[in-house]
Amino acid sequence: MEFTVQKADLVRELGLSQGVVEKKTTIPILSNVLLEASGDRLSLTATDLELGIRCSCPAKVKKEGSGTVPAKKLLDYVRLLPDGELTLKFLDNHWASITCGRSRTKMAGMSRESFPELPPMPEATAELPAPLLASMITKTIFAISAEESRFTLNGALLVIREDEGAAPVSVMVSTDGHRLAYIEHTGEVPPPKEAVRVLIPRKCMAELVRLAQEAGPESRVNLAGDDNHLFFQIGARLLITRRLAGNFPDFERVLPRDNTQVATLDREDIKAAVERVAQFADERSRAIRILFSANEVKVFTSSTDTGESEELVPSTYSGPDIDIGFNAAYLIDFLRAVSQDQVSFQLKDHKSAGELCPVGDPASFRYRYVVMPMRI
Amino acid sequence: MGRIRVLPDQVANKIAAGEVVERPASVVKELLENALDAGSTEVRIEVEAGGRRLIRVADNGCGMLRDDALLAFERHATSKLRDVKDLLAIATLGFRGEALPSIASVSRLQLETRSPEEDTGTRIEIAGGRLLRCDEAALPGGTSITVRDLFFNVPARRKFLRTEQTELAHVASLATHYSLAHHDKSFELWSDGGELLRVTPAGTLKERVYQVFGSQVVEDLVEMTGAEKHLAIPADRDGDEPERRVFHLRGFLSQPQVQKANRNSIYIFVNSRLIRDRLLMHAITAAYHNLIPPGSFPFALLFLECDCEEVDVNVHPSKTEVRFRHQSFVHDFVRDAMREQLLESRPAPVFSPPPSPQRAAALPYSEFTQMLIDQASAPAMPEPVLRESPPPAPRLDFSAPPIEVKPLRLRVPDTHGAFPADAIPASGASLESLVDLRPLGQIRESFIVASAADGLWIIDQHVAHERILFEQILKERAAGRIEVQALLLPIVIQLTPEQQVRYARIEEELRACGFDTEPFGNRTVAIKAAPAACSAADLETVLFEILENAEPEARSMSMDDIRRAIAASLACRAAIKINTRLDQTKMEWLLRELAATDYPMSCPHGRPIALRYGMHEILKAFHRI
Ligand SMILES: Nc1ncnc2c1ncn2[C@@H]1O[C@H](COP(=O)(O)OP(=O)(O)OP(=O)(O)O)[C@@H](O)[C@H]1O
Ligand SMILES: [Mg+2]
Ligand SMILES: [Zn+2]
């Protein structure tokens, strides 16, 4: 196999495969990227057996064929080459020879035989604008539980459905058992061929954001699935993930219905207040308290070994006093994820779930963040 | 007028009666106790054929008057008790007046004794309980009793004796223990002409421990120089001053890295009497709770002194059991005193020294016994084949020829050489120096390597954090300040019938520790909120672990134990895992927090936290000293 590519193209596509390549070297072939040259394209494939990516770029193919080389080493080297074209050729011993201007390098490779075969993508069942998917992910990914258990999933739920006579609705939800992030978007999405309800693993979500950003504002994501895998096609790039097993909790039950006490606050103010006060919260639990009272919100910690702290933030609140405990880290995650100037806290009492929302979102885009209180 | 009296029946009947002589070691024990009761300062024990052929105990005590010597072989004849009242405050090791007649009835016994008050002594011979001779004789002061052919007239008993080596091991262990209880006296044990133990009077208990066990073992021990607690007893009658009873505890405890598979390394002396006692055993285990793994035991050499009225020794004919008048007071005193000692000394385990027969975690007594057994069974001639490694150097050197004999019998240096004043570092390696540790980095993202003026340290990051969290959780629990995180959706878990029973038992404590659980019917439990330290993903595992731990000793486990088990489970889950990269500030934080804990030496499951490669070892390894 022999082909010539633009260095910039190769660097870009290799860069996208880095997040997928297996970091631990338990199975050496998984640290490699599979290079396949045919027609006028070079395609690159990487996988860690959970997640797989296939990208491609234009190439002048002199001799079709394939081979594998260590992905990181290849990227690190190619990046240092001068801009312009480079030629890569696989030798009989699976080594790759790379020539570029006056540079000549041979890299140890491995036969493609042992590289895992990625499943073929079935027909797409739904389509989403890439920026929408990316935004849904960035607003929910932080609420995913770090570990997987019978009661928590290491991923988020994506639902795309079309209620009769109404515009299609896409929903993404994530939770770690203590809090839940919920995005609901109406319209803009072509009606799905069939309703979608899939669990997307966290690692896949992070890669999707990268691919969506790389693809630009006009691009779209085609979604497909077989029994074991989910496929996301963005332009010429394909991301494949194993499906997460498990049942997503019944989140509808958790979304508060009668949180009638509402406080509207300046997002920067409350974020800064929580961040500062949190310095004096317990190292582990990050517990802080918030006292909602007329026109004012007090963020504070009860006194501990490390000291105590309190901040006052003006608010439009007019309900009864509510003194409620929260994990500060949970609040900060949300306050960092929204860009609106104002946020609202919607409460019932100090024992029930609190809800946070950005203020001023269009009705077609609802972002809800539910946090369970702490007893301190 | 003689000193020995036959006890009146009403007293004799109150004494726990039963078989006294079971095996050679029981004879040695009785004779040894008599010698100690007689105020001796030198005791010499000789045995032949593991004591089956001959046992001789010679002392330099008060001896017996001519009239007493014969009386001593009457049942219930004793100089140590007078009336029933005395039974309530026994200050001597013997009190029944049973030992000599019992021994004399199953052996050929010769007594030679002289009291300093008389010019001549007495020699008596008895066989199978029959008096053969009783003569006046020229004898040195003190008493020597020779017991030959034990059980010669009781073949059934003889059949049950174990091998000579085993019997000898029992005798040796007994002599060792009594020598520990009386560090100011000299003891010798000879077997078939060879010396097994010879200790000269030592100034301190520590010195005696060193003489007996050697420096390696002493290094692993923490000395308890003396804890004291007073118990006020309400006066019997109004107007009387309440009485004050003093309890005193001293001895040696092993550092937590020493872990034994059984209780054989725990020696308890109550008023100098070696005993086995469940209450104290429990107190000792409790003191090490969360410091060593469950099911393992420390080495402990404990001397509890208290007023004789506080302890009843008249419980069992073997005199190895006692009953305390104020049981829970004694239990808590012993447990707390030991805990405080461990807390105060914060011993740090060191890297194991190069392979040596005296391993840090060696089991002093059983090793000693094992050596005796090995020694006894070893072929007389050296094996003609080359061994791969030299045989272990025995702790007590049997083979060494008697070192130069100095004028006084007791002056012979003991087998470990003189006690070097600096053999034991004054405070031992202490975790105190944790405070000025400087983290250098991690090994495999699991162990923190740190340097300090006193050497190099390795700290297991997971267990270190576990210890920090464990104490923090317990403190919060004690203050009722557990932070609880409510769950979005209750987690419903299914219990086995067994778990259900345990759950019911600890439900209250679970709640107090921050678990809002609710029985959901049909052996299911809904968890609605949990300690903030615990992630929702871990909850099920933690709860099952807690229920699991509540099981094995369900009855003996107090609520305090359960509380600690819960805290340990939570801490283990929440602690930094191994294979986790830590930046410099995080490592510094961890070491600082660890230094601030009460017991930085082991995690709540008893694994060691920190190892030290001391400056001394480093210098030695580089041949600089
Ligand atoms: N080594 C000795 N030196 C001086 N007196 C002794 C010695 N051995 C025994 N006696 C005397 O003989 C008595 C009887 O001894 P014996 O061991 O039979 O009974 P005891 O020690 O009084 O009680 P126990 O049966 O509990 O041992 C003792 O009370 C003591 O007066
Ligand atoms: Mg006696
Ligand atoms: Zn542990």
As given in the structure block, the two tokens for residue A239 are 């991301």
Is residue B499 a contact partner of residue B507, using CB atoms and an 8 Å limit?
no
- pLDDT at residue A303 in the model: 67
In degrees rounded to 5, what are phi and psi of residue B303? -120, 110
Q: In this structure, what DSSP letter does residue B185 have?
A: S
B101 inside domain: yes
Is residue A344 a contact partner of residue A265, using CB atoms and an 8 Å limit?
yes
Whether residues B471 and B605 fall in one domain:
yes
Which of A38-42, A106-110, B95-99, B425-429 has the weakest average pLDDT?
A: B425-429
Cα Rg for chain A, rounded, in angstroms?
25
- pLDDT at residue B375 in the model: 43
Kindly give the distance from the C-alpha atom of residue B94 to the centroid of ligand 1, in angstroms, as a whole number. 7
Residue A251 to chain B, least CA–CA distance (Å): 9
Would you give the distance in Å from CA A171 to the centre of its chain? 15
User: Scanning the structure block, which residue is given the tokens 């002409």?
Assistant: B193
Nearest-by-CA chain A residue for B575: A284
As given in the structure block, the two tokens for residue A200 are 């997307």
Kindly give the distance from the C-alpha atom of residue B142 to the centroid of ligand 1, in angstroms, as a whole number. 13
Q: Assign 3-class secondary structure to B269-331.
A: EECCEEECCHHHHHHHHHHCCCCCCCCCECCEEEEEEECHHHEECCCCCCCCCCEECCHHHHH
Residues B37-76 have pLDDT tens digits of 999 999 999 999 999 999 999 999 999 999 899 999 998 9
- pLDDT at residue A8 in the model: 95
B99 inside domain: yes
Interface list for chain A against chain B, based on CB atoms closer than 8 Å:
145-152, 175-180, 249-250, 253-254, 282, 284-287, 325, 327, 351, 353, 370, 372-376
Preferred mutation among B483, B542, B585 to probe A, highest tally of A CBs within 10 A: B483
Is residue B318 a contact partner of residue B267, using CB atoms and an 8 Å limit?
no
pLDDT for residue B425 is more than 60 = no
Whether residues B87 and B156 fall in one domain:
yes
Beta strands at B42-48 and B186-191: parallel, antiparallel or unpaired: parallel
Question: Residue A282: its chain B contacts at CB < 8 A?
Answer: 483, 532
- The CATH topology of domain A126-252 is DNA Polymerase III; Chain A, domain 2 (3.10.150)
Is residue B30 a contact partner of residue B20, using CB atoms and an 8 Å limit?
yes
Instruction: Among B313, B345, B377, give the residue marking a domain's end.
Output: B345
Residues A37-47 have pLDDT tens digits of 999 999 999 99
Which of helix, strand or coil describes residue B264?
helix
- The CATH topology of domain A256-371 is DNA Polymerase III; Chain A, domain 2 (3.10.150)
B294 burial type by CB count under 10 A (0-12 exposed, 13-18 middle, 19+ buried) = middle
pLDDT for residue B461 is more than 80 = yes
Give which of B467, B474, B469, B466 is closest to B559, Cα–Cα.
B474
- pLDDT at residue B391 in the model: 35
Give which of A325, A360, A328, A355 is closest to A342, Cα–Cα.
A360
Q: Which amino acid is at A9?
A: D
Task: Determine how many CB atoms are found less than 10 A away from the CB of residue B278.
Answer: 8
Residues B118-160 have pLDDT tens digits of 999 999 999 999 999 999 999 999 999 999 999 999 888 888 8
State the pLDDT confidence band at B18, using cuts at 50, 70 and 90. Answer: low
Whether residues B10 and B116 fall in one domain:
yes
User: Which of A176, A178, A287 is closest, CB to CB, to B483?
Assistant: A287
Report H helices in chain A: 7-17, 71-79, 130-138, 202-215, 267-278, 328-337
Instruction: Among B345, B364, B396, give the residue marking a domain's end.
Output: B345
Preferred mutation among B468, B482, B485 to probe A, highest tally of A CBs within 10 A: B485
Q: Which residues are bridge partners to A104 per DSSP?
A: A99
Kindly give the distance from the C-alpha atom of residue B128 to the centroid of ligand 1, in angstroms, as a whole number. 19
CA atoms within 13 A on the CB side of B316: 9
State the pLDDT confidence band at B481, using cuts at 50, 70 and 90. Answer: confident
Range of the domain at B92: 5-161
State the pLDDT confidence band at A12, using cuts at 50, 70 and 90. Answer: very high
B390 inside domain: no
Whether residues B153 and B257 fall in one domain:
no
Q: How much is the average pLDDT of B513-537?
A: 88
Q: How much is the average pLDDT of A294-309?
A: 85
Residue B545 to chain A, least CA–CA distance (Å): 15
Give which of A71, A58, A67 is closest to A89, Cα–Cα.
A67
Residue B478's contacts (CB-CB under 8 Å, 6 or more residues apart) are none
Kindly give the distance from the C-alpha atom of residue A146 to the centroid of ligand 3, in angstroms, as a whole number. 22
Beta strands at B484-494 and B524-531: parallel, antiparallel or unpaired: antiparallel
B586 burial type by CB count under 10 A (0-12 exposed, 13-18 middle, 19+ buried) = middle
Q: ipTM, 2 decimals?
A: 0.85
Domain boundaries, chain A: 2-114, 126-252, 256-371
What one-character-per-residue DSSP string does B454-490 give?
TEEEEEEHHHHHHHHHHHHHHHHHHTT---EEEEEEE
Whether residues B450 and B594 fall in one domain:
yes
Nearest-by-CA chain A residue for B531: A285
Size of interface A-B (CB pairs under 8 A): 87
State the pLDDT confidence band at B262, using cuts at 50, 70 and 90. Answer: confident
pLDDT for residue B449 is more than 80 = yes
Whether residues B558 and B461 fall in one domain:
yes
B311 inside domain: yes
Rounded distance, CA A65 to CA A115, Å? 14
In degrees rounded to 5, what are phi and psi of residue B207? -60, -40
> Could you tell me which residue, B243 or A218, shows the higher pLDDT?
A218
User: Scanning the structure block, which residue is given the tokens 């007389």?
Assistant: B380
CA atoms within 13 A on the CB side of B479: 10
State the total domains in chain B: 3
Residues B375-398 have pLDDT tens digits of 444 433 333 333 333 333 333 333
Q: Which amino acid is at A354?
A: G
Which of A36-40, B93-97, B257-261, B455-459 has the weakest average pLDDT?
A: B257-261
CA atoms within 13 A on the CB side of A272: 9
Query: Among all ligands shown, which has an atom nearest to the Cα of B102?
Result: 1
H/E element, B96:
none
Residue B106's contacts (CB-CB under 8 Å, 6 or more residues apart) are B21, B128, B150, B151, B152, B153, B154, B157
Q: Which amino acid is at B252?
A: F
H/E element, B376:
helix B364-377
B211 inside domain: no
Interface list for chain B against chain A, based on CB atoms closer than 8 Å:
469, 472, 481, 483-489, 491, 529, 532-533, 535-541, 574
Question: Residue A287: its chain B contacts at CB < 8 A?
Answer: 483, 532
Which of B5, B20, B29, B34 for mutating ligand 1's site (highest number of atoms within 8 Å of CB)?
A: B34
Preferred mutation among A280, A288, A369, A375 to probe B, highest tally of B CBs within 10 A: A375
Beta strands at A65-70 and B77-78: parallel, antiparallel or unpaired: unpaired
Q: How much is the average pLDDT of A301-306?
A: 74
- Atom number in ligand 1 closest to CA B97: 19
pLDDT for residue B196 is more than 60 = yes
User: Scanning the structure block, which residue is given the tokens 């961040």?
Assistant: A275
Q: How much is the average pLDDT of A132-142?
A: 95
Percentage of chain A beyond pLDDT 90 is 73
Give which of B313, B322, B224 is closest to B281, Cα–Cα.
B322
Residues B319-371 have pLDDT tens digits of 888 999 999 999 999 999 998 888 877 766 665 443 333 322 223 333 444 44
Query: Among all ligands shown, which has an atom nearest to the Cα of B314?
Result: 1
CA atoms within 13 A on the CB side of B250: 12
Rounded distance, CA A161 to CA A227, Å? 20
Percentage of chain B beyond pLDDT 90 is 34
In degrees rounded to 5, what are phi and psi of residue B53? -90, -40
pLDDT for residue B404 is more than 70 = no
Q: How much is the average pLDDT of B608-615?
A: 86
B407 inside domain: no
Nearest-by-CA chain A residue for B473: A284
Residue A20 to chain B, least CA–CA distance (Å): 21
State the pLDDT confidence band at A149, using cuts at 50, 70 and 90. Answer: confident
- pLDDT at residue B551 in the model: 60
Q: How much is the average pLDDT of A304-329?
A: 90
Range list of β-strands (E), A49-207: 51-58, 60-63, 65-70, 85-90, 96-100, 103-107, 126-129, 155-162, 168-175, 179-186, 196-201
Q: How much is the average pLDDT of B544-569?
A: 77
> Could you tell me which residue, A336 or B554, shows the higher pLDDT?
A336
CA distances (Å), origin B422, targets A286, B135, B345, B434: 49, 53, 18, 23
Question: Residue A148: its chain B contacts at CB < 8 A?
Answer: 537
H/E element, B221:
strand B221-233
Question: Residue B485: its chain A contacts at CB < 8 A?
Answer: 178, 285, 327, 372, 374
Preferred mutation among A23, A147, A149, A157 to probe B, highest tally of B CBs within 10 A: A149
Rounded distance, CA B487 to CA A317, Å? 26
Question: Residue B544: its chain A contacts at CB < 8 A?
Answer: none
pLDDT for residue B574 is more than 80 = yes
Is residue A97 a contact partner of residue A127, using CB atoms and an 8 Å limit?
no
Q: Which amino acid is at B194?
A: G
User: Which of B489, B491, B535 is closest, CB to CB, to A253?
Assistant: B489
Hey, are the CB atoms on B483 and A374 less than 8 Å from each other? yes
Q: Is the CB of B111 under 6 A from ligand 1?
A: no
State the pLDDT confidence band at A35, using cuts at 50, 70 and 90. Answer: very high
- pLDDT at residue B242 in the model: 79
Nearest-by-CA chain B residue for A145: B537
Is residue B612 a contact partner of residue B601, using CB atoms and an 8 Å limit?
no
User: Scanning the structure block, which residue is given the tokens 């990046």?
Assistant: A79
A2-114 and A256-371 have identical folds: yes
Q: Is the CB of B286 under 6 A from ligand 1?
A: no
Kindly give the distance from the C-alpha atom of residue B251 to the centroid of ligand 3, in angstroms, as a whole number. 28
State the pLDDT confidence band at B431, using cuts at 50, 70 and 90. Answer: low
Kindly give the distance from the C-alpha atom of residue B79 to the centroid of ligand 2, in angstroms, as a whole number. 10
- pLDDT at residue B149 in the model: 94
Q: The domain spanning residue B492 has which CATH number?
A: 3.30.1540.20
Of all protein residues, the one whose alpha carbon is nearest to atom 31 of ligand 1 is B79
Residue B327's contacts (CB-CB under 8 Å, 6 or more residues apart) are B279
Q: What is the dihedral of CA B492, B493, B494, B498, to 10 degrees?
A: -130
- pLDDT at residue B618 in the model: 83
**CATH architecture assigned to A2-114:** Roll (3.10)
Nearest-by-CA chain A residue for B574: A284
- pLDDT at residue B405 in the model: 31
Whether residues B147 and B225 fall in one domain:
no
Is residue A370 a contact partner of residue A143, using CB atoms and an 8 Å limit?
no
Q: Please count the residues of chain A.
A: 376
Residue A234 to chain B, least CA–CA distance (Å): 33
Question: Residue B574: its chain A contacts at CB < 8 A?
Answer: 284
